[in-house]
Amino acid sequence: MRKIFCSLLLAAAALSPFSSYADRQVVDQLGRLVTIPDRVDRVVVLQHQTLNLLVQLDATGTMVGILSNWKQQLGDSYQRLVPELTRIPTLGDLTHVDIEKLVALHPQVVFVTNYAPQEMIEQIQRLGIAVIAISLRRDDKQQNRLNPELTDEEQAYNQGLKEGIRLIGEVVNHQQQAEELVKATFSQRQQTADRLKTVSASQRIRVYMANPDLTTYGSGKYTGLMMAHAGALNVAAATVKGYKQVSMEQIIAWDPQVIFVQDRYPQVIDEINQQPAWQAIDAVKHHRVYLMPEYAKAWGYPMPEALALGELWMAKKLYPQKFRDIDMQQKADAWYQRFYRTHYVGSH
């Protein structure tokens, strides 16, 4: 085994882009100074958020390898948006990588999540390949944690998303596209906030985010911010830190008025409608269980369309009278044409 690894190291060193092109440095979102070639056009992506951002930056052509479970992470409909992804080799996931496959792809850079194991990062670096960690969160103390305790969630995710988009854009030489994406992402938010000014804290609708196996998002995750921006009260925020499994008894005690389910987990809607325990909950009794559109992306980490479109969609669902004039299909189609270079055909 040691012989195989040594030969892989030698092969990677011979093919490494750093021998003649290592002439710029970037700081990744773990605060690491990373040397990368002047021109990067071969990347491996082992984080679905970064994959989605590369697509929106019109940099799909730079990807030579992607995480194996991208369909599960991004939703079944994602391949319609980017059919070429089905032809890109797969070789790992958020916490591990197939080193032999990696070497064969000759990447200049590997994008990983901020909580990728340190040994995985070091293993890739020993091959002479640059590793860029993306967190989409600014928080100096807990950057490598999956479920952080953030002193200012709003600031951590707003700044972290901007910095993450710009960093990815800089790595693949798509800086202009990155600036356009940042501007489009944050310009919509103010409109939603203005319309919700008259909704007091006591009037906010109690909302639960239902994920598979009774897991949900509490505090410290972008999803809670998404709910807050949409005028909702996340029932899990006070007792759940991060992303965790809860009990059915706890959900019944919270008694949410509305339940949202992410587009990538449609089976959860069936479970809620079919299982007797759920029928006692206010949201189920009053038929307010909603499958979110694919652009809402109510993930633990923020995505541009979640801020620009998803928060607006959620606010319109919760307070329809305040957003009667907003055509979500039209807004989604404009975004998709601009950043996915195709029409939006999903539900709204």
Look at residue 3 and tell me whether its pLDDT is greater than 50: no
3-state secondary structure of 126: coil
What tokens does 61 get? Answer: 């052509």
- Distance between CA 325 and CA 238 in Å, rounded? 34
Question: Considering the entire predicted model, what is its pTM?
Answer: 0.86
- Give the CATH number of domain 189-339: 3.40.50.1980
Burial class (CB in 10 A: 0-12, 13-18, 19+), 244: middle
pLDDT tens digit string along 258-271? 999 998 899 999 99
Domain 2-186: CATH superfamily is Nitrogenase molybdenum iron protein domain (3.40.50.1980)
pLDDT tens digit string along 300-332? 889 999 999 999 999 999 999 999 999 999 999
- The DSSP letter of residue 296 is T
Round the average pLDDT of the chain to a whole number and report it. Answer: 90
pLDDT computed for residue 114 by the predictor: 93
pLDDT tens digit string along 16-70? 444 445 589 999 999 999 999 999 999 999 999 999 999 999 999 999 999 999 9
pLDDT band at residue 14 under the 50/70/90 scheme:
very low
Burial class (CB in 10 A: 0-12, 13-18, 19+), 29: buried
Query: Which of 134-143, 163-172, 239-248 is modeled with the greatest confidence?
Result: 163-172
- Distance between CA 164 and CA 137 in Å, rounded? 8
Which residues in the chain are classed under CATH 3.40.50.1980?
2-186, 189-339
Higher confidence at residue 309 or residue 146? Answer: 309
pLDDT band at residue 5 under the 50/70/90 scheme:
very low
pLDDT computed for residue 220 by the predictor: 84
pLDDT computed for residue 348 by the predictor: 64
pLDDT computed for residue 190 by the predictor: 83
pLDDT computed for residue 76 by the predictor: 79
- DSSP codes, 300-325: SS--HHIIIIIHHHHHHHH-GGGGTT
Count of alpha carbons within 13 Å of 44, Cβ hemisphere only? Answer: 30
- Distance between CA 219 and CA 94 in Å, rounded? 22
pLDDT computed for residue 140 by the predictor: 56
Average confidence (pLDDT) over 164-180: 98
> CB of 97 within 8 A of CB of 120?
yes
- Count other Cβ atoms within 10 Å, centred on residue 42: 18
pLDDT computed for residue 148 by the predictor: 59
Look at residue 126 and tell me whether its pLDDT is greater than 90: yes
- Distance between CA 227 and CA 208 in Å, rounded? 9
Look at residue 93 and tell me whether its pLDDT is greater than 90: yes
CA quadruple 142, 148, 154, 158: dihedral positive or negative? positive
pLDDT band at residue 144 under the 50/70/90 scheme:
low
pLDDT band at residue 296 under the 50/70/90 scheme:
very high
For the ranges 74-83, 139-148, 174-183, 263-272, the lowest mean pLDDT is seen at 139-148
Q: Name which of 316, 113, 56, 334 is nearest 205 in CA terms.
A: 316
- Count other Cβ atoms within 10 Å, centred on residue 200: 7
The residue with tokens 């409909």 is 77
Look at residue 224 and tell me whether its pLDDT is greater than 50: yes
- DSSP codes, 195-223: HTTT--GGGPEEEEE--GGGEEE-BTSHH
For 222-242, b where at least 16 C-beta lie within 10 A, e where not — what string? bbbbbbbbbbbbbbbbeebeb
